[in-house]
Amino acid sequence: MKIHEYQGKDLLKAAGVAVQEGKVASTPEEAARAFEELGCSLGVVKAQVHAGGRGKGIAIGPDADRAEALAIASGQKPRPEGVAQGVQLVRSAEEARKAAESLLGKTLITYQTGIDGAKINKVLVADGVEITRELYLGMAVDRAVQAPVLMASTEGGVEIEEVAKKTPEKIHREPIDVGFGLADFQARKLVKALGLEGAAAKNGLVFFKNFVKFFIDSDCSLAEINPLIVTDSGQVLALDCKLNFDDNAMYRHKDIAALLDPAEEDPNEMRASESGLSYVQLDGDIACLVNGAGLAMSTMDVIKYHGGEPANFLDVGGGANKDQVLEAFRILLSSDKVKAVLVNIFGGIMKCDIIAAALLAAYDEIDFKVPLVVRLEGTNVEQGMKMLEESGRKIITAKGLTDAAQKVVAAAKGSA
């Protein structure tokens, strides 16, 4: 689960991690008031979307050329004068109002959002900081090390992916013992690696310790502070933050779970999770309805092996009753990219004849405009397949995974 920068900064601040002060706003007037309330001479207005690269990103209206915008946001084309950037420095309440106006309701295109962009519903008005140094701090679970790893680099503010590719030696890594947190010697190593001295060194130690503690206590899966900045007076502050949390741990962090912004989520994925289905949108044209994540993965593999591209990953879980199948079909068919549907269900606890009945009932309630291929396996499979074959509906039955994949790939090509 992802959250917005302003929400992340609130959480970090509560955990004793120093952040740039700010207030969130949903209207230009609120943004102007926020600037006054912050009482700063320099402020920054930042689009709140779940994507990075906002500084170089641009906010566009509905009629603008998205491909052109993406080329500019990715640095392939020069930035024309007067375009609204996702992060804007402001020096008065009036400038804050104008900056907010140029962002709110618009679509932000950054190198991370791609061509679709992200709708800007809120902006963060933050106390502008004079930056002496821009550093990078990140933490992520490293499966190879079997632990979270804290990463720090003097190359902050820029795309850390580039640093990792070109000069990996500039990223300092410390594996973290989740029971112990960040050890003092590790914190001191980081301070040295980042070249922090005097007050900045002291502030850095506190920052790193609390940051690591927050990551572990909140079940983060990724936390990035880019840039982590050092001011003239030696303050060490998070100027930006990107936090992701482990969905499976959100039951024990109700306060964090409540920060979910439905506007940022894929509507189909939200709808699926409300019905207890796991759904992931993909780029292909063959929709898959499967029970069990392992079976879903192998179904996608076999589709690809036979030259097709899956449109999604949809796991109805152990159940597969009529209501779930019906909702699953509705979600699958809501995309006009889908050219064929493959149902691949293993009837173990749920018998195949019961599943066939659910499929037929759901089929009748849906206007199927694309071919439907069904492969069932398991208890009472003969009975279930017979029901489908004799139903008089336009259902293509398949025997075995290979047969199913070949039939659905052919069907998708035929209806494309």
Q: Which residue is nearest to Mn ion (CB)?
A: 240
Q: What is the DSSP letter of 286?
A: E
Smallest separation, CB 226 to ligand GDP (Å): 6
With 0-12 / 13-18 / 19 or more C-beta atoms within 10 angstroms meaning exposed / middle / buried, residue 115 is: exposed
Q: Measured from the CB atom, is 54 or 339 closer to ligand GDP?
A: 54
Residues 28-67 that bind ligand GDP (CB under 6 A): 44, 46, 52-55
Count residues binding Mn ion (CB under 5 A). 2
Judged by CB under 5 A, the stretch of 209-217, 232-240, 281-289, 368-376 that binds Mn ion is: 232-240
Cα of 298 vs its chain's centroid, Å: 24
Segment interacting with Mn ion (CB under 5 A) among 187-195, 226-234, 244-252, 262-270? 226-234
Residue type, 11: L
**Nearest distance, CB of residue 241 and Mn ion, angstroms:** 8
Rounded distance between C-alpha atoms, residue 129 and residue 141, angstroms:
31
* Residue closest to ligand GDP, measured at CB: 55
Interface residues for ligand GDP in 279-308 (CB under 6 A)? none
Binding-site member from 20, 226, 299, 312 for Mn ion (CB under 5 A): 226
Binding marks (x or -) toward ligand GDP, 207..246, rule CB under 6 A?
Answer: -------------------xx-----------xx------
Residues linked to residue 290 through DSSP beta bridges, in sequence order: 315, 344
The dihedral region occupied by 161, where left means phi > 0, alpha psi between -120 and 50, and beta the remainder, is alpha
Residue from 45, 87, 123, 352 touching ligand GDP (CB under 6 A): that is: 87
| Closer residue to ligand GDP (CB): 111 or 245 | 111
CA proximity to 265, closest of 49, 62, 104, 11: 49
398 near ligand GDP, judged by CB under 6 A: no
- Active-site residue identified among 224, 279, 327, 377: 224
- CA pair distance 21, 24, nearest whole angstrom: 10
Residue 17: phi and psi, rounded to 5, are: -100, 125
Residues with Cβ < 8 Å from 63, sequence gap 6 or more? Answer: none
Q: What is the DSSP string of 77-100?
A: SPPPTTPEESEEEESSHHHHHHHH
* Rounded Cα–Cα distance for residues 123 and 50 (Å): 12
In the block, which residue shows the tokens 């500019």? 72
The answer to whether 291 is a known ligand-binding residue is yes
Total of chain residues touching ligand GDP, rule CB under 6 A: 17
Sign of CA pseudo-dihedral 55, 57, 58, 60: negative
Please identify, using beta-carbon distances, which residue of 48 and 226 lies nearer to Mn ion: 226
Site for ligand GDP (CB under 6 A): which residue of 114, 157, 181, 319? 157
Indicate whether 122 belongs to the interface with ligand GDP (CB under 6 A).
no
Among 240, 315, 327, 353, binds Mn ion (CB under 5 A): 240
Residue 8 binds to ligand GDP (criterion: CB under 6 A): no
Residue 239 C-beta: closest distance to Mn ion, Å: 7
Judging by DSSP bridges, how do beta strands 312-315 and 372-378 pair with one another? unpaired
Active site residue 224: yes
- Cα 99 to Cα 68, 95, 369: the distances in Å are 22, 6, 47
Q: Do residues 376 and 355 touch, judged by C-beta distance below 8 A?
A: yes
Which one of ligand GDP, Mn ion, none is in contact with 101 (Cβ closer than 5 to 8 A by kind)?
Answer: none
Q: Is 363 a catalytic residue?
A: no
22 near ligand GDP, judged by CB under 6 A = no
Strand partners, 136: 153
User: Residue positions in the annotated binding site for substrate?
Assistant: 291, 348-350
Contact residues toward Mn ion (CB under 5 A) are: 226, 240
Contact residues toward ligand GDP (CB under 6 A) are: 20, 44, 46, 52-55, 87, 126, 128-129, 131, 157, 226-227, 239-240
Catalytic residues, by residue number, are 136, 224
